[in-house]
Structure 1
Amino acid sequence: MRALNFVDARLARRNTRRLVRDLPYGPEARRRLDIYAPKRAAADRPVLVFFYGGNWDSGDKHDYAFAGRAFAELGYVTVLPDYHHIHEQPYPAFMADAAAALAWVRSHVRDYGGDPDRIAVAGHSAGAYIAITLALDPRWGAVDMVKAGIGLAGPYDFLPFDSPVTRRTFGHVADLPATQPVNHVRADAPPLLLATGDADTTVYPRHSQALAERLRAAGGEAELILYPGITHTGPVKAIARPFRGHAPVLRDIAAFLAKHGL
């Protein structure tokens, strides 16, 4: 994503700003975050916390600055956290990091113009797993903070293990069903937007479809979008300026969040 981020930065309008870079949300080196916001200062803006993907084993928030700029253009105080990759610390370290980042946001985002009572989480691929798990699984202490969740091409239902990636990440866990977002649906869950490409052969669309169906059956709210002809990286690339014409991802996210008062 580094090259894409470079091109997006060259094309970006100058109506957003990065407020902080590498701000600690905990004592460990991987617990750092960046914050983006509209250039025009204001108080109590809605907040979006975005988690990048990378098989839970790669990625860097700096390479996803295009997402911070894009959501800031929509009016959100946008937070991009880093987290431990599994070669550094095994699961559940990345979930503990994500929960700690969200708790930090809840406590401090007002200092950066954000409203701590209007927080949404979003992510792509492995980051979508993180975001949606925070929204659904009460073990991470975040369900009361999250007002809406957005998952782009995320894995939510992969038992029995459907790839070497999921086996490598979760194979050591004793309670495997507890690792599956589909097993944490509930009627009082925050509304979810689950968007993916119908040509995704890395994380098949059935993951988003299964979670949407399970959440609706439990009495919750899920909006499912399948983008025709879009592959696995397409939904996140469509956030960046060079690829925004490929799928209306930003428009759909903005409409979903506005619908839910965010």
Structure 2
Amino acid sequence: MNHKVGQFKTQLSQHILQLQQQYKDFRLYDFGSYALNRLTPKQGYMVETQLAYGLKSRQRFDLFRSQQPLPHRPLIVFVHGGAWLHGDKKDYQFIGESFAKEGYDVVVMNYHLAPQHIFPTYIHDLHLLLNHLQQSAEQLQICAENLVLMGHSAGAFNVMSALYHPQSASIDHSQIRAIIGLAGPYHFDYKNDPICAGAFDQAVPYQQVMPYYFVKNSSTRHYLFIAEKDKIVGHFNSHDLDRVLKEKGNHSHLIHIPKLGHITIVGSLSSLFSRFFQTKSQVLWALEDAFKS
């Protein structure tokens, strides 16, 4: 009996240490993104901030315009992570700069956060943004016919759910050329999850929420990035989604990024550090692959 109690205490201690490390990782990322943005070049692109796509204060986006846009005028919509609990578009200036200099216009959005707003509120925000971009393309001087949805972590879940959740009928899927998911959680049980349980209705089974269960045939191309050292989101999420996408006749491509973890995979997209890692070059390859197809 004492042996079992001791074993339980050891397991509990290990679990608490893991949670503490995950919390530190998120706080470290907050500091890291602040430092990245402070060092991000301010030249080579134009940016408009705090543009509205809805009436609520969190329904805002920043638009980074390339000064040398590609001929087909692709538009990347980036959705941040943060376990649906925190994060802000202002932390991702480095994303806008990094891809605007490559010829892409970039939208970086805010959305409603948990626990005040739970699923599917933040998916509805993305639908609202996409409809706004498509309806206001001329006014915004953008091309919304060649959209790429790119999300990190919770943001990757959001972009995949925007396309495949049953409530996604309100958007024009034909204009979404590709989805790029960075370390996304697409197929997991959030029941009593110590990090993100507050982002979901605990009375609703995950099988009624996860995009894995709603995949259908689509012309959109899918590029699923896995960080080799990710200790927060299990690799099985991307492997499971890749399998079901292909079973439904979709394009899907798994891309493994060595050396990086759950947080650093997005930080490595910064033009300050992208030459040291494979992430940005692989994202650019995925973008080129999507538009040549």
Alignment-derived partner of residue 77 in structure 1: 105
Mapped partners of 2:175, 2:241: distance in 1: 21
Opposite residue 156 of structure 2, the aligned amino acid is: A
Q: Which range is displaced more, 50-59 or 31-40?
A: 31-40
Alignment check: 8 A CA contact 1:8 1:241 kept = no
Query: 1:248 pairs with 249, 267, 278, which one?
Result: 278
Alignment check: 8 A CA contact 2:217 2:248 kept = yes
Q: Which range is displaced more, 251-260 or 192-201?
A: 251-260
1:183 aligns with 2:213: yes
Alpha-carbon RMSD = 2.2
Query: 2:45 pairs with 16, 24, 35, which one?
Result: 16
Alignment-derived partner of residue 27 in structure 2: none
1:86 aligns with 2:109: no
Query: 2:243 pairs with 185, 210, 213, which one?
Result: 213
Query: 1:47 pairs with 51, 75, 85, which one?
Result: 75
Mapped partners of 2:104, 2:277: distance in 1: 21
Among all aligned residue pairs of Structure 1 and Structure 2, give the percentage whose two residues are the same amino acid: 25
Mapped partners of 1:27, 1:33: distance in 2: 12
| 4+ aligned runs moved over 6 Å, structure 1 | none
Mapped partners of 2:237, 2:85: distance in 1: 20
Query: 1:155 pairs with 185, 190, 194, which one?
Result: 185
Higher helix share: 2
Opposite residue 202 of structure 1, the aligned amino acid is: I
1:117 aligns with 2:145: yes
Secondary structure of the 1:49 match is: strand
The structure-2 alpha-carbon separation of the partners of 1:176 and 1:189, relative to structure 1 and needing over 3 Å to count, comes to farther
- Deviation, 1:229, is 2.5
- Deviation, 1:225, is 0.9
Mapped partners of 2:70, 2:156: distance in 1: 29
Query: 2:164 pairs with 116, 136, 150, which one?
Result: 136
Opposite residue 188 of structure 1, the aligned amino acid is: S
1:167 aligns with 2:197: yes
Secondary structure of the 1:261 match is: helix
What's the TM-score, normalizing by structure 1? Answer: 0.90
Opposite residue 39 of structure 2, the aligned amino acid is: R
Alignment-derived partner of residue 95 in structure 1: 123
Alignment check: 8 A CA contact 1:41 1:113 kept = no
Per-residue CA distance 1:223-255 (angstroms, 9 max, x = gap): 101112221112101111343244222211111
Mapped partners of 2:214, 2:139: distance in 1: 33
Secondary structure of the 1:114 match is: coil
Mapped partners of 1:11, 1:52: distance in 2: 18
Secondary structure of the 2:238 match is: helix
The structure-2 alpha-carbon separation of the partners of 1:109 and 1:224, relative to structure 1 and needing over 3 Å to count, comes to same
Per-residue CA distance 1:82-131 (angstroms, 9 max, x = gap): 01101332222111111101111111234344222111101100111111
- Deviation, 1:168, is 2.4
Alignment-derived partner of residue 199 in structure 1: 229
Mapped partners of 2:40, 2:121: distance in 1: 36
Aligned residues, how many?
261
Mapped partners of 1:204, 1:221: distance in 2: 22
Unaligned runs of at least 5 residues, structure 2 = 1-29
The structure-2 alpha-carbon separation of the partners of 1:232 and 1:3, relative to structure 1 and needing over 3 Å to count, comes to closer
Alignment-derived partner of residue 96 in structure 2: 68
Per-residue CA distance 1:106-162 (angstroms, 9 max, x = gap): 112343442221111011001111111112224122334422101000100003648
Mapped partners of 2:36, 2:192: distance in 1: 34
The structure-2 alpha-carbon separation of the partners of 1:64 and 1:160, relative to structure 1 and needing over 3 Å to count, comes to closer
Whose radius of gyration is greater, 1 or 2?
Answer: 2
- Deviation, 1:219, is 1.1
What's the TM-score, normalizing by structure 2? Answer: 0.81
Alignment-derived partner of residue 17 in structure 2: none
Opposite residue 71 of structure 1, the aligned amino acid is: F
- Deviation, 1:189, is 4.9
Opposite residue 12 of structure 1, the aligned amino acid is: P
Alignment check: 8 A CA contact 2:185 2:237 kept = yes
Per-residue CA distance 1:14-33 (angstroms, 9 max, x = gap): 21121x11111111111011
